[in-house]
Amino acid sequence: MARPSARVSGRRGFLLRAGLVTFGALAAPTWSYAQEAPPAPAFQPSVPVDPTAPPPPAAARTVPVSPDEVERGDPSKPNITLAINVGAGSEPAVSMLDTLRDKGVRTTFFVLGWWADRQPDILRRIASDGHEVASHGHSVFDLTQVSDAEVRADLERADASISAVTGKTTRPLWSASAGARDARVRQIAASIGYRPIYLTVDSLDWTQDATAESVYQRVMEWTVNGAIVVCHFDSPTTVRSTAVALPRMVDDLRGAGFTLMTITDLLTS
């Protein structure tokens, strides 16, 4: 009887051993040949800077909006602006644009909106030559004589007319037509995003008896550091006065140590 017992025992042993092997196979951890990515460092290394790369563009400078009128730039610096008013209605002195281009001068043109409506090609050239185009109002001659709503409407209409040609707003630069402004008008202008600009030197080229020599002498005599010198593009005498004097005037102002620039550059540099 021992032999059958031995067979059962052997079979049980075999099954027991087989069960342990199976259990062990199930319980044993499985291993993958793929390795996990190492943990990221606590501080990422900075990207190397290319020393030859150009610097990022600086933010555009702009004149702060305020009802406070500007009559002059920094008196400690020999910077000036030959500001040019446009819209008197006489023959435009287009030769002035040629002179400014040939002399490498960028300046500020204060343009009346009605003129922009009638002379878009010349205005387009003024802008494409790199000049700064500002507002001189639209068609109200004396803003001090009209209502708040009319002041606001005139300035908004001017900006619409001018920007339709240049593609840029005239804000924040505005100079009152004929210099007609008061505290009320300046406050309204500031409320819609403008800074009133006046003058330091009036070239008097708008007078009937202006000549090339009178304009030249007045500008050279009265121009000082920070000066805003006002000339005209289409006054009754511009073609024979300012346009003729301009080449010599630019050369001699530079010879006297002045740097010519736009209103924005004059007030923010």
Which CATH number characterizes residue 188's domain? 3.20.20.370
User: Does 150 have pLDDT greater than 70?
Assistant: yes
Q: Could you tell me if residue 264 is inside a domain?
A: yes
Specify if 193 maps to a domain.
yes
- The least confident of 40-44, 127-131, 260-264 is 40-44
In a domain, 6, yes or no: no
**Residue 250 falls inside a structural domain:** yes
Evaluate if residue 211 carries a pLDDT over 90: yes
Indicate if the alpha-carbon torsion angle 102, 90, 195, 197 is positive or negative.
positive
Share of the chain above pLDDT 90, in %: 77
Query: pLDDT tens-digit profile of 124-148?
Result: 999 999 999 999 999 999 999 999 9
In a domain, 42, yes or no: no
The type of residue at 198 is Y
Q: Is residue 5 part of a domain?
A: no
Residue 55 pLDDT: 57
As for how many domains the chain has, the answer is: 1
Answer yes or no: is pLDDT of 30 > 70. Answer: no
Higher-confidence residue of 212 and 21: namely 212
Reported confidence tier of residue 115, pLDDT bands at 50, 70, 90: very high
Does the predicted model carry a pTM greater than 0.85? no
Q: Is 134 exposed, middle or buried (0-12, 13-18, 19+ CB in 10 A)?
A: buried
Euclidean distance between CA atoms 122 and 97, whole angstroms: 10
Residue-level pLDDT at 60? 79
Q: Which domain holds residue 160?
A: 79-268
Q: Residue 162 domain-assigned?
A: yes
Is 51 part of any domain?
Answer: no
Higher local confidence (pLDDT), 260 or 9: 260
Q: What is the pLDDT of residue 39?
A: 52
